Structure 1
Amino acid sequence: MKLSYKLYLFQPNSENEKSLGDIIILHGLFGSSKNWVTVAKFLSNFGSVYTVDQRNHGDSPHATEHSIRLMSEDLEEFILDHQIKNPILFGHSMGGLVAMYFDFTHPGVLNALVVQDIAPRSYPFAYDQEIQSMSFPLEGFTSRADIDTEMAKFLPDTFIRQFLQMSLERLDSGEYRWKLNVAGLNQARRVFDHPFPEKISSDTNTLFILGGSSDYITDSDKTLIQEIFSRLTMESILGGGHYIHYTHQAEYLGILKNWFQSKISNH
């Protein structure tokens, strides 16, 4: 599948700085490349950055099948099409699972791996409210405010509604539609069940950034991560949840800056 993407070209801070290599950012469930503009611009100081829309999200094609394995295959096709050598792969949530899957099944290919707030294990599909809030017909709605009011009946969390509405598009006709394949994602409820091959390990230089108060990470997850990744840096943001790139941006970008600069000094 040919994925839609945005490219942020390498913008070195000084003339003699060399690129660390191409960086690919993979968003989470219900997200898109639009959620990663700030981070992508920041990371373009270290290399050119591709923000990808995964299948059934953003401007990429819709498909009936949706799995971590298939998204990893889409990514492999993307890397080959763009002739990217040894990319730095960066994934949040679902995107983190895809990034880890790619790393586990392509040992030695990645320059480095960054995973945000997800562990290499199964997760339940706990998104009924999100799906319901996007499943009512949009015909007759003339404003985002009216759609938001209707969504709130299913999904009280304002932050998550605003996040979802980044994928709400107004057509030239004035009608609204979801860019997300809502029905397809609703059918893919096992997407996070045992997403990986049986034997998993990684020697890739890896950074995990975790939300200190996130529902997605337990103490046993941290132990699991340490067992699987042999070249690991793990950072937690105190009080942070699942969307630390947005809610704790300054601290988050500081962690990325330190880690990428340490890669430059080792370069």
Structure 2
Amino acid sequence: MKLNYKLYPYQSSNPNGKSIGTIIILHGLFGSSKNWVTVAKFLSEFATVYAIDQRNHGDSPHSDEHSIQIMANDLETFLSEEKIQNPILLGHSMGGLVAMYFDLTRPGVVSRLIIQDIAPRSYPFVYEKEIESMSFPLDGFTSRTEIDTEMAKYVKDSFIRQFLQMSLERREDGSYHWKLNVDGINHARRVFDDVFSLDQISKTPTLFLLGGSSEYISESDFTMMDRFFQNNQKVKIPFGGHYIHFTHQKEYLEQLRNWLEKEFR
């Protein structure tokens, strides 16, 4: 599958700066490259950055097939088509699972991993309310405010609704539609099951950048991180949740800078 992406060319403000290569950003479930503009622009100080729309998200094609393994295949095709070698992968949530699986099953391809708030294990599909909030007919709605009011019947958290609505698009005729393949994702509820039933280990330098208050990470996950990724560093952002690149952006970018400068000094 040919994936849509946004390219951020390397442009350092330091006249003596030197690119560290290529960084690929892999968004999470219900996200897109659109969610990563600020982070991508920041990272373009260090490298050429590609923010990808994974299948069934953003402007990439829709498919009935949706799994971590298939998205890793999509990434492999993307790297081949764009002639990208030894990239750094930054993956959030679902994108982090794709990045970790890709590295474990294709040793030596990736130069570094940055994994945001996810561990190499199975996760339950607990997004029924989000799916419901995007499944009612949009015919007759004339504004985002009206749609948001209806979505609030299913998802109370306004932050999550605003995040989902980044994939809501208005057509030229004034009607609305979801760029996400909501139905396809809904029928892929085992997408996070049994991905890491693997014997492989990775020596790839890996940063686990975690929300200190995230519901996605438990203390037992650290054992799994160490089992699969034997050259890793773990950094917690205090009081941060799953979306630390939004909610704790200053601290998040500071940690990215510190780690990249340490890795490539």
TM category (shorter chain) comes to over 0.9
Identity %: 65
- Report the Cα distance in structure 2 between the residues aligned to 1:9 and 1:218, rounded to whole angstroms: 37
Deviation at 1:263, TM superposition (A): 1.9
| Partner amino acid, structure 2, of 1:177 | H
- Report the Cα distance in structure 2 between the residues aligned to 1:256 and 1:90, rounded to whole angstroms: 10
**Which residues of 2 match residues 151-170 of structure 1 at below 5 A?**
151-170=151-170
- What residue number does 1:249 align with? 249
What are structure 2's unaligned runs of at least 5 residues?
Answer: none
- Report the Cα distance in structure 2 between the residues aligned to 1:225 and 1:198, rounded to whole angstroms: 13
Instruction: Write out per-residue CA displacement over residues 89-122 of structure 1, whole angstroms, 9 at most, x where no aligned residue.
Output: 1100000000001000111111100000000000
- Report the Cα distance in structure 2 between the residues aligned to 1:133 and 1:62, rounded to whole angstroms: 19
Q: Does 1:240 align with 2:240?
A: yes
- What residue number does 2:45 align with? 45
What are structure 1's unaligned runs of at least 5 residues?
Answer: none
**Which residues of 2 match residues 10-49 of structure 1 at below 5 A?**
10-49=10-49
| Partner amino acid, structure 2, of 1:255 | Q
- Report the Cα distance in structure 2 between the residues aligned to 1:51 and 1:71, rounded to whole angstroms: 14
- Report the Cα distance in structure 1 between the residues aligned to 2:157 and 2:117, rounded to whole angstroms: 20
Deviation at 1:176, TM superposition (A): 0.1
**Which residues of 2 match residues 82-161 of structure 1 at below 5 A?**
82-161=82-161
Instruction: Write out per-residue CA displacement over residues 184-230 of structure 1, whole angstroms, 9 at most, x where no aligned residue.
Output: 00000000001134213110011010011100000000122122212
Instruction: Write out per-residue CA displacement over residues 9-53 of structure 1, whole angstroms, 9 at most, x where no aligned residue.
Output: 001132222111100000000000000000000000110000000
- What residue number does 1:201 align with? 201
**Which residues of 2 match residues 171-190 of structure 1 at below 5 A?**
171-190=171-190
Range moving further from structure 2, 1-10 or 194-203:
194-203
Q: CA RMSD in A?
A: 0.8
Instruction: Write out per-residue CA displacement over residues 106-149 of structure 1, whole angstroms, 9 at most, x where no aligned residue.
Output: 11111100000000000000000000000000001000000000
The number of aligned residues is 265
User: What's the TM-score, normalizing by structure 1?
Assistant: 0.98
User: What's the TM-score, normalizing by structure 2?
Assistant: 0.99
Secondary structure of 1:230's aligned partner: coil
Segments of 4+ in structure 1 off by > 3 A? Answer: none
| Partner amino acid, structure 1, of 2:109 | V
- Report the Cα distance in structure 1 between the residues aligned to 2:125 and 2:155, rounded to whole angstroms: 16
| Partner amino acid, structure 2, of 1:165 | Q
